[in-house]
Amino acid sequence: MRRQRNTKIVATLGPASSSPEMIEALFMAGADVFRLNFSHGSHDDHRRSFEAIKTIEKKTGRAIGILADLQGPKLRLGTFAAGPVIVKTGQAFRLDLDKTPGNDQRAPLLHPEIFAAVKAGDFLLLDDGKVKLEVKKRGNDFAETQVVVGGKLSDRKGVNLPDTVLGLSPITEKDRRDLAYALDLGVDWIALSFVQRAEDLAEARRLIAGRAALITKLEKPSAVADLERLVELSDAVMVARGDLGVEMPPEEVPILQRTIVGACRLAGKPVIVATQMLESMVSSPTPTRAEASDVASAVYEGADAVMLSAETAAGQFPIEAVTIMSRIAERTECDPAYHRIIHAERSEPEATAADAIVTSAAAVAATIKAAAIVAFSLSGSTTLRAARQRPRVPILGLSPKAETARRCALTWGVHPVITEDIASFSEMTAKACRTAAEEGFATSGQRLVVIAGVPFGTPGSTNILRIAWVD
Q: What is the pLDDT confidence band of residue 119, given thresholds at 50, 70 and 90?
A: very high
Q: Radius of gyration of the chain from Cα atoms?
A: 24
Q: Which of 5, 7, 8, 35 is catalytic?
A: 35
Residue 100's CATH number: 2.40.33.10
Query: Could you tell me if 185 and 287 lie in one domain?
Result: yes
Domain boundary residue among 160, 191, 226? 160
- Averaged pLDDT for residues 454-464: 74
Q: Which of 47, 76, 258, 346 is catalytic?
A: 76
- Nearest Cα residue to 35 out of 196, 188, 240: 188
Strand order in the sheet with 414-418: 414-418, 395-399, 372-376, 447-453, 462-469
**Cβ density class 156-194: b for 16+ within 10 Å, e for less:** ebebbbbbbebebbbbbeebeebbeebbebebbbbbbbb
Is residue 374 included in any domain, yes or no?
yes
3-class SS at 167?
Answer: coil
Is residue 97 included in any domain, yes or no?
yes
Is residue 345 included in any domain, yes or no?
no
Res. 179: pLDDT tops 70: yes
* Helices and strands in the chain: count of H runs, count of E runs: 17, 21
**Residue 462 pLDDT:** 82
| 411 is a catalytic site residue | no
Domain, as residue range, for 193: 8-73+170-335
Residue 393's CATH number: 3.40.1380.20
Is residue 201 included in any domain, yes or no?
yes
pLDDT, tens digit, 9 for 90 and up, residues 432-453: 999 999 999 999 999 999 999 8
Is residue 216 included in any domain, yes or no?
yes
Query: Could you tell me if 90 and 64 lie in one domain?
Result: no
pLDDT, tens digit, 9 for 90 and up, residues 53-73: 999 999 999 999 999 999 999
| 177 is a catalytic site residue | no
Domain boundary residue among 160, 179, 200? 160
Query: Could you tell me if 433 and 462 lie in one domain?
Result: yes
Question: What is the percentage of the chain residues whose pLDDT exceeds 90?
Answer: 86
The burial class, CB within 10 Å (0-12 / 13-18 / 19+), for 205 is middle
- Averaged pLDDT for residues 314-336: 98
Tell me the H-state helices in 334-424. 338-342, 353-368, 381-388, 402-408
Query: Could you tell me if 184 and 278 lie in one domain?
Result: yes
CA distance linking residue 296 with residue 301, whole number of Å: 9
CA distance linking residue 225 with residue 324, whole number of Å: 34
Q: Which of 164, 275, 382, 411 is catalytic?
A: 275
Name the pairing type of β-strands 142-149 and 92-96: antiparallel
| 94 is a catalytic site residue | no
Query: Could you tell me if 174 and 279 lie in one domain?
Result: yes
Count: domains in the chain: 3
Query: Could you tell me if 360 and 321 lie in one domain?
Result: no
Q: What is the pLDDT confidence band of residue 40, given thresholds at 50, 70 and 90?
A: very high
Q: Which of 217, 241, 265, 431 is catalytic?
A: 217
- The more confident residue out of 86 and 242 is 86
Query: Could you tell me if 153 and 261 lie in one domain?
Result: no
| 217 is a catalytic site residue | yes
Question: What is the percentage of the chain residues whose pLDDT exceeds 70?
Answer: 99
Res. 267: pLDDT tops 90: yes
Query: Could you tell me if 378 and 330 lie in one domain?
Result: no
- Nearest Cα residue to 126 out of 101, 99, 108, 100: 108
Report whether 138 contacts 64 (CB < 8 A). Answer: no
CA distance linking residue 445 with residue 158, whole number of Å: 60
**Residue 457 pLDDT:** 67
CA distance linking residue 50 with residue 229, whole number of Å: 32
